Amino acid sequence: MRKHLRFFPTLFFMLFAQVAFSQQADRITGFFPGISFLRFVELVEGETSYRFYLKELDVKDLTVNLQAKEDKLEDVLTVIFDKTDLKFSISNQKEVFISKGEKLVVKFAPDYFLQNTASSSSLVQDEFVRNRRYTLGTPGPGTEATLSGVITSLENQKPIEGAIVYERESQRQTLTNREGRYEITLPKGDQTLLIQNIGGYTEQRLLNIQGDAALDITIGEGIFSLSEVIVRSGALTNVSRPEMGVQSLSVQQLRKLPAVMGEVDIIRGILTMPGVNTAGEASVGFNVRGGAADQNLILLDQNTLYNPSHLFGFFSAVNSDMVQGVELYKAGIPVSYGGRLSSVLQVTPKAGRQDKIGGSGGIGPMTSRLSLDGPIGKNTTFVVGTRLTYSDWLLDYLEERADLGASRAQFGDFNASIQHQLGEKDKIRASGYFSKDKFQFDPDTVYSYSNLNYALTWTHYFNDDLEADFSAGQDKYDFEVQGEDNPLNSYLYGFDITQTFLKALFRHEKGDRHIFTYGFHGIHYDLNPGKIDPLGAESIVIPDEVPREKGLEASLFLGDEFEVNEKLTLSGGIRLNWFGYFGPQTLPEYAPGEPFLPENIIGETNYGDGELVKSYLGPEMRLSGRYALNNWSSIKAGVNTMRQSIHLLSNSSVITPTDTWKLSDTFIQPQTGIQYALGYFRNLENNAIEFSAELYYRTMNNLLDYRSGATLVLNDRIEQDVLVTKGKAYGVELYLKKVTGKLNGSFAYTYSRSLMLTDPTERKEQVNRSEWYPSNFDQPHTANLVLNYELSRRVNTTLAGKYSTGRPVTLPVAKFEYGGSERVYFADRNSFRIPDYFRLDLSVNLEGNHKVNKVAHGSWSFGVYNILGRDNAYSVYYIPEEGKLNGYQLSIFAEPIPFVSYNFRF
């Protein structure tokens, strides 16, 4: 299929020669701290044989502020002229011509190259390879041709994995694999191929494609990252990728957001995206397109995180130093993911570097973190990272000033992964994550929770078209309260989840137009929904336990990304989901047709160990399509259905650790949902500005809402308190993003509604008379603004703003006397709203200098959270005070909060 042409060795040689050249003297080395361009010219002319030709007027305001080491003049000039309209070209005689506006492009005749390659490699070396047009392939039938080759590093000649290879006009793109290999099909004719290495700059090749050809390219590995390089993979794919409703965030983007308490936080980053909101400020639980917080699947690599927060959401559980990027799928969820109704948040961990052992870390007022990564031997790399609090000193300090009791709060987390290359075709990765939180607010009661996740993944490349990931692992979450208030009533309460999974994922490219994804995903659940035991010999608390629950979820999936033609790409699939609930279990039998209430129990059934109690089988469908209107705009549409068999029992508006998990059983059916979405995507100003508009409508069934006064803790008959509830959500999301320039940023506006309805057939209780009522996270208007201004390469300021409609609350409307006290009577569920939310944050990042050989690179981050000091209501409540009922709103972070942190990497 792939044709290697005769001239391939020559071309290869030519590009290799460039490396040899790198050893020569005419490279630029030196530190240029804000000198004038003319001074820079003088220095370069003094050190090298280059001679400059320019108009002084053109460059009189230009300064040079960079550090270079053995860099090509072309690259240095590209950086200096970035964001100016100055252009340059360099002749064979090392004459540098600088012009304003128009670029002097040397364009060669198609045959020129062929004629010259064999004989004059030295000539080629001198050419500015970026602006030369290469002719590739031999003319043949068809309008398209396939290019393939290897991208290697200029610095160490190693293949570069994950570099983006794309064509400017057609927006087609691909990524290099672990061997640096890429393959891309492009229309024949004159094309501009761009190669972007993550963390590096963009390399360019002008091509005249005649037919299939091989093209190996050597690129610099980003020694030039004087400015933060924005990973533009999201931007590149925004218009062209077939799925919709996907938001990507690189860790570089995350770092630009103001950090509370000095911690870069992935969830806070996600919250700047359209369609994502949070019920409260101190909450890691987030809501996607009107869905509940437990409807988000949070994956750290292959592992599910059941509690993604430390200290109730003040920090994300994932250490940002260990993260390469995050992707949030709000719609168009790939078939390989499933099990949650609203979204998938895939956190991609950082891979260990291969050249040397390095690391990074940070010191903030409450936490510190440190991570190390690098190679062990030739084929193995590792990453380890940890984060710890030392907030106790703060609490101690406060305790001296305020009577806070014996408060203690600690948390820590630990990540590790090791990856080993087993020969050419196999790779093995083992990874683990552990986190622990422990806190107490009085000497008597200790709360703690922990996550423990580990997984083993084996990636096998069968051939160029087929690769597979096989993974197995376990996710554990447990929560515990130890109460020792009174020796007689001392107790130990807890719940836990153990989830063991096995996953096989195949990715198969069939021809040029199909990419099949198929596989199997099995999860075994073992849940302890709640257990209380007496603590100490004196305690008379009776041990109580909600029986353990066991379930098995098995999914088979098949998806296809089908490029119908240049304009139309379809992506679809089916995921067949089977869920079984297993014994040992004793379940009541309710009279047929009667509501699940204690008075309707007519019997009991015992199920033995491993006996199937109840099973559910259902398909999940995914379908989305992208139609390219032209090179810079497309429309997309999609529909997908989801199923969820594990539910968070919570009747508070935010995730709290007492919320316990429950599997679907005979009475609690899996939640199901369907989402329809339509979007328009457009890139402007040569991809510098991205715009998207998405509409969605979704309905959900078997949601869990609870009857009044339901008790969720240690309730072994939860079906008696659950109301059969339907949900619907709809909205429009507008997103504008500017990715380049000194001033960049994004603006997102979302209009969305999220409503619930007690099924009219529900006889236990009908919330609000079985009319649609707003869910706890129905916030119609949400706007997010992130503005970055790069004052210089080392100083970067960010302003972030957030506005949203206040969330619904249930408020009292009348009062009465009962039981000797004044009581309040609450209006319909969620018929009021707390005041609207608005906040502005400001941060300044100061990068240290960029000397390549410095031992460590440090940066300072200063900022103010809630710079306006606005009292945003977190909640409102009424309390009786001296016989009167007074309403209060509680605000968290109601004052401007300054923060500072020091981050370093080495």
Partner 1 sequence: MTEMKSVVEKLLGAFPNRALINISSVAMGYLGRICGVGGILLFLFSCRTPFDPEPQGKSVAILVVEGYLDADGKKSELRLSRMTDLDSLNAYSPELNATAYLESSAGTRYYLEEKGDGIYLFEETLSFDLSYRLSIQLQNGEQYQSDEIIPIETPEIFDAGFVKDEEGVEIFVNTQGNEQADDFLWTFQEDWIFRPYTLAPFIYDQTLREVRDRTPAEDIYTCFRTEPNPGILLETSSRFQEQVVFRQTITEIPTGDERLQARYSILINQMAIPSDAVKFWEILKKNTEEIGSIFSPLPAVISGNIHGLETSNLAVGQVNIGKVRQRRIYINRADVSPWNYSNKVFSGCYVDDVPLLIGSFEYHFLFGSGSHLPARPFLGDGPILATYIIGYNPIETRCADCTLYASKVKPEFWEDE
Longest dimension (CA), the chain: 103
Looking at beta carbons only, is 25 or 542 nearer to partner 1?
A: 542
- Look at residues 315, 280, 269 and name the one whose alpha carbon lies nearest to residue 437: 315
User: Of these, 125, 138, 192, 407, which contacts partner 1 (CB under 8 A)?
Assistant: 407
Among 405, 536, 619, 898, binds partner 1 (CB under 8 A): 405
Start-to-end CA distance of the chain, whole Å, equals 45
Residue 232: partners with Cβ closer than 8 Å, 6 or more residues away: 164, 196, 687, 739
- Which CB, 80 or 712, lies closer to partner 1? 712
Alpha-carbon distance of 527 to 553, in angstroms, equals 14
Among the listed ranges 153-161, 689-697, 880-888, 898-906, the one in contact with partner 1 (CB under 8 A) is 880-888
Instruction: Name the minimum Å distance from CB 824 to partner 1.
Output: 6
Please say whether the beta carbons of 236 and 218 come within 8 A.
Answer: no
Can residue 712 be called a binding residue for partner 1 (CB under 8 A)? yes
CB 794 within 8 A of CB 860: no
Residue placing its CB nearer to partner 1 in the complex, 66 or 834: 834
Element (DSSP H or E) covering residue 401: helix 392-401
Considering the complex, what minimum distance in angstroms separates the CB of residue 532 from partner 1? 6
Closest distance to partner 1 from the beta carbon of 602 (Å): 19
Kindly state the smallest distance separating residue 697's Cβ from partner 1, in Å. Answer: 26
CB 325 to partner 1: min, Å: 29
Which member of 812, 857, 858, 906 binds partner 1 (CB under 8 A)?
812
Restricted to residues 240-299, the positions that interact with partner 1 (CB under 8 A) are: 280, 282
Q: Taking Cα atoms as reference points, which of 151, 112, 137, 119 lies closest to residue 10?
A: 119
> What's the CA gap between 303 and 310, in Å, rounded?
17
What are the start-end ranges of the E strands in 771-895? Answer: 773-774, 781-790, 795-804, 808-809, 812-818, 821-826, 832-833, 837-847, 857-865, 873-881, 884-891
Which of 12, 461, 520, 878 touches partner 1 (CB under 8 A)? 878
Question: Does 709 participate in binding partner 1 (rule CB under 8 A)?
Answer: yes
Least distance (Å) between residue 129 CB and partner 1: 56
Of the candidate residues 412, 751, 889, 905, the single one contacting partner 1 (CB under 8 A):
889
Q: Is 814 a residue that touches partner 1 (CB under 8 A)? A: yes
**Interaction residues for partner 1, span 27-86 (CB under 8 A):** none
Residue 192 or residue 875: which is nearer to partner 1 going by CB?
A: 875
Does 403 participate in binding partner 1 (rule CB under 8 A)?
Answer: yes
Which CB atom, from 88 or from 447, has the smaller least distance to partner 1? Answer: 447
Residues 301-330 that bind partner 1 (CB under 8 A): 311-312, 314
CA-wise closest residue to 734 among 783, 769, 697, 768: 783
Q: How many angstroms separate the CA atoms of 767 and 764, rounded?
A: 10
- Burial of 760-777, coded b for 16+ CB within 10 Å and e otherwise, reads eebebbbbbeeeebbbbb
Which residues fall within 8 angstroms of residue 46, CB to CB, at 6 or more apart? none
Q: Are 339 and 297 in contact (CB under 8 A)?
A: yes
Which CB atom, from 491 or from 501, has the smaller least distance to partner 1? 491
- Site of tokens 């302890």: 528
Binding mask 655-674 for partner 1 (x = CB under 8 A): -x-x----------------
The region of 230-238, 290-298, 602-610, 889-897 touching partner 1 under the rule CB under 8 A is: 889-897
**Between residue 828 and residue 847, which ones bind partner 1 under the rule CB under 8 A?**
829, 832
By the 8 A CB rule, do 415 and 319 touch? yes
**Packing angle between helix 8-22 and helix 110-117, nearest 10 degrees?**
70
Q: How far is the CB of 813 from partner 1 (least distance, A)?
A: 5
Q: Omega before 584 cis (within 30°)?
A: yes
Please list every residue from 678 through 707 that binds partner 1, using CB under 8 A.
none
Please identify which residue in 651, 666, 701, 770 interacts with partner 1, judged by CB under 8 A. Answer: 651
Part in contact with partner 1 (CB under 8 A); list of ranges 300-308, 499-507, 615-623, 809-817: 809-817
What does DSSP say about strands 217-219 and 246-250: parallel, antiparallel, or unpaired? unpaired
Contact yes or no for 256/786 (Cβ under 8 A):
yes
In the range 97-136, which residues lie near partner 1 by CB under 8 A? Answer: none
What tokens appear for 464 in the block?
A: 């160029």
Instruction: Work out the burial of residue 455: count CB atoms within 10 Å of its CB; fewer than 13 is exposed, 13-18 middle, 19 or more buried.
Output: buried
Q: Judged by CB under 8 A, does residue 823 bind partner 1? A: yes
Cβ–Cβ < 8 Å for 428, 419: yes
Residue 25 vs 402, nearer CB to partner 1: 402
When binding is defined by CB under 8 A, the residue of 780, 875, 900, 906 that contacts partner 1 is: 875
From the CB of residue 1, how many other CB atoms can be counted at a distance below 10 Å? 10
Classify the C-alpha dihedral 253-259-265-268 as positive or negative: negative
Would you count residue 900 as binding partner 1 (CB under 8 A)? Answer: no
Say whether residue 340 binds partner 1 (CB under 8 A): no
C-beta of 380 vs 875, nearer to partner 1: 875
Does 893 sit near partner 1 (CB under 8 A)?
Answer: yes
* Residue 398 phi, psi (nearest 5): -70, -35
Interface pick for partner 1 out of 275, 325, 483, 774 (rule CB under 8 A): 483
Burial letters 181-211, b for 16+ CB under 10 A, else e: bbbbbbbbeebebbbbbbebbebbbbbbbbb
Contact flag: residue 887 with partner 1 (CB under 8 A): yes
Identify which of residues 370 and 897 has a Cβ nearer to partner 1 in the complex.
897
> Using CA atoms, how far apart are residues 656 and 642, in angstroms rounded to an integer?
25
Q: What minimum distance in Å lies between the beta carbon of 844 and partner 1? A: 21
Q: Is 906 in the site for partner 1 (CB under 8 A)?
A: no
Q: CA 315, 391, 870: angle at the middle one, nearest 5?
A: 55
- Print the binding letters for residues 609-648 with partner 1: x by CB under 8 A, - otherwise: ----------------------------------------
Q: Decide if residue 396 touches partner 1 (CB under 8 A).
A: no
Residues in the interface with partner 1 (CB under 8 A) total 88
Burial 316-353 (b: 16+ CB within 10 A, else e): bbbbbbbbebbbbbbbbbbbbbbbbbbbbbbbbbbbbe
Residue with smaller CB distance to partner 1, 163 or 279: 279
554-613 residues in contact with partner 1 (CB under 8 A) are none
Please, which of residues 425-464 interact with partner 1 by CB under 8 A?
439, 441-442, 445, 447
Q: Is 228 in the site for partner 1 (CB under 8 A)?
A: no
Q: Is 818 in the site for partner 1 (CB under 8 A)?
A: yes
Q: Which of residues 484-513 bind partner 1 (CB under 8 A)?
A: 488-489, 491, 493
Closest separation in Å from C-beta 721 to partner 1? 10
Q: Among 58-66, 169-177, 480-488, 755-763, which window interacts with partner 1 (CB under 8 A)?
A: 480-488
Strands lying side by side in the sheet with 303-304: 246-250, 323-329, 343-349, 296-300, 303-304
Of the pair 499, 901, the CB lying nearest partner 1 is at: 901
716 scored as a contact of partner 1 (CB under 8 A) = no
Burial class of residue 630 (count of CB atoms within 10 Å of its CB; 0-12, 13-18, 19+): exposed
Choice from 56, 424, 817, 882 touching partner 1 (CB under 8 A): 817
Between 812 and 858, name the residue whose CB sits nearer to partner 1.
812
- Interface mask toward partner 1 for 507-546; x: CB under 8 A: -------------------------x-------xxx-x--
Q: What minimum distance in Å lies between the beta carbon of 599 and partner 1?
A: 10
